[in-house]
Amino acid sequence: MGKALHRYDMVTDGDRIVVGLSGGKDSLTMMFVLHERLARIPIKYKLFAVYIDPGFDGGFSRPLKSYCEKMGYQLRIEYTDYGLLGHSSQNRENPCFLCSRLRRKRLFEIADEFGCNKVALGHNKDDIIETLFLNMFYSGEISTMVPAQSFFQGRLTVIRPLAFVDEAKIRSFADDNNFPDFENPCPSAKVSKRQEIKTFLNQLYHSNKKIKGNIFNSLHRVKTDYLLK
């Protein structure tokens, strides 16, 4: 994570950062490290954890709030109906796409409200690879998430500090630090297109341990002269 932060100059002195907490191991790990490193680095920044509750029954907003208070994090919970809307008959798009887009928009609005110049999201190395294949298979384009990206003429930057970290290492880190296990109440959590891609890729990874690294490295070595125009 430190390697990604330094390579892309993600965090600088005086930054005000909204941290998108989902309750999953990725975002909890990101928040833990961003908070912990403040005590041992020469720069200072402020963290504002935000959880966008999608509105499903059986949510975990209150337990997440209690956990954050115990850890000394400042958490804002934003109650919405984005998940319900995404799965309603009114939505003609992919449920995950609409819900994600609405949550991201709300995070940007809250960042502006807090006077923040950064939004940190917990996407990891596996997420970046999976997004590459999702976009190829279902959007007909070669693209993925990037570790740092500016919006609104540079007023806001989205950063992904876990961009270089394998999902398996994050799970191990979360277990070692006894992070809580919040169950995702979203009905699409285990049947999404992303999950299909994850299963497909894991089969490839098991057949050859070099495949994941080769795919990720290829994103840094794009030969545009050998792509169709």
Q: Convert the pLDDT of each residue in 37-95 to its tens digit.
A: 999 999 999 999 999 999 999 999 999 999 999 999 999 999 999 999 889 888 877 78
Across the chain, mean pLDDT equals 95
pLDDT of residue 97: 84
Containing domain of residue 113, as a range? 2-226
pLDDT of residue 91: 80
The domain tally of the chain equals: 1
Neighbours of 106 (CB within 10 A): 16
Q: What's 138's domain CATH number? A: 3.40.50.620
Neighbours of 210 (CB within 10 A): 9
pLDDT of residue 191: 77
Q: Is 0.85 topped by the overall pTM?
A: yes
Cβ atoms of 194 and 139 within 8 Å: the answer is no
Lowest-pLDDT range of 81-90, 100-109, 197-206, 212-221: 81-90
Residue 18 C-alpha from the chain's centroid: 12
Q: What's the pLDDT tens digit per position in 139-170?
A: 999 999 999 999 999 999 999 999 999 999 99
Q: 128: which 2 tokens?
A: 């970046």
Q: What are phi and psi of 64, to 5 degrees?
A: -65, -40
- Local structure of residue 90 (DSSP, 8 states): T
Contacts of 103 (CB under 8 A, 6+ apart): 20, 52, 54, 80, 82
State the virtual CA torsion across 83, 171, 217, 94 in degrees, nearest 10.
Answer: -10
